[in-house]
Amino acid sequence: MTSSGPRVQRGVLLLATLAAFAFGAVIKVASASHYHTNCNGHGLVHGNSTSDSAYHSRVEGGPCQRTSRCDVGQFGNIVSYGGAAAGVTCDNFLSGYGPECYGNAWTRLTDAFDYHRHDAHSPC
C-alpha cells in the first residue's frame, strides 16, 4: 500500500499532462485558422499576398463531393454569398474592400461541417 501511492500520483500526473496537451490542441483546432481540412480543404485563401486586400473564400470540390457554401466578407460582414454544386470547388473572390487582415470567409460542406467563419492568415 505504501508503495502504490507515488505510482498512482505519477499516473494521475501523466494523465493530467496528456489531457492538458490535448486541450491545447483542441483549442487551436476549434479556433479555425484561416485554412484547414475537414473532408475537403476550406477557409480563406490569401493567394500570392497576405496584405493585398484580395482573397478568396473557398471550399474544395473533393475528395468529398457535396454541395457547399463559400461566403466572403470584411469586418465580420458578408459582402458576397456563394454556393456550389457537389464536386465543385466553391470559390468566392473579393478584392479592394479593406485591409486583408480584417477579411473573413464563411464556409459549409453538406454533411461534413457546419457553417463557420475563418479569419485572415494574419488577423489584425
Partner 1 sequence: MRRTIIALVTLALCVAGGFATATVLGAGADGSPAPKPAGGLDLGAKPGSDSVESRQADPAGRGPDWGVVVFTARNGHACAAAGPIAGGRVGARRRDGTIAPYPIDEGASCVDLDAVPAGAQVTMGTGAGARTVVHGVAGPDVASVTLTTPQGARDLRIGPRGSFLAVLDAADAALGDVKLSARLHSGASRQLLG
**Chosen residue from 11, 15, 20, 122 binding partner 1 by CB under 8 A:** 20
**Chosen residue from 2, 3, 4, 48 binding partner 1 by CB under 8 A:** 48
Q: Does 11 bind partner 1 (CB under 8 A)?
A: no
Q: Does 111 bind partner 1 (CB under 8 A)?
A: no
Strand order in the sheet with 68-74: 68-74, 103-109, 113-119
Q: Does 106 bind partner 1 (CB under 8 A)?
A: no
Output the CA torsion 42→31→114→94 (10° steps).
-50
**Chosen residue from 93, 101, 102, 117 binding partner 1 by CB under 8 A:** 93
Q: Does 17 bind partner 1 (CB under 8 A)?
A: yes
**Chosen residue from 22, 75, 99, 124 binding partner 1 by CB under 8 A:** 22
Q: Which is nearer to partner 1, 82 or 119 (CB)?
A: 82
Q: Does 113 bind partner 1 (CB under 8 A)?
A: no
CA-CA distance, 119 to 104, in Å (whole number)? 5
CA-CA distance, 6 to 10, in Å (whole number)? 6
CA-CA distance, 3 to 11, in Å (whole number)? 13
Which element (helix H / strand E) includes 21?
A: helix 4-30
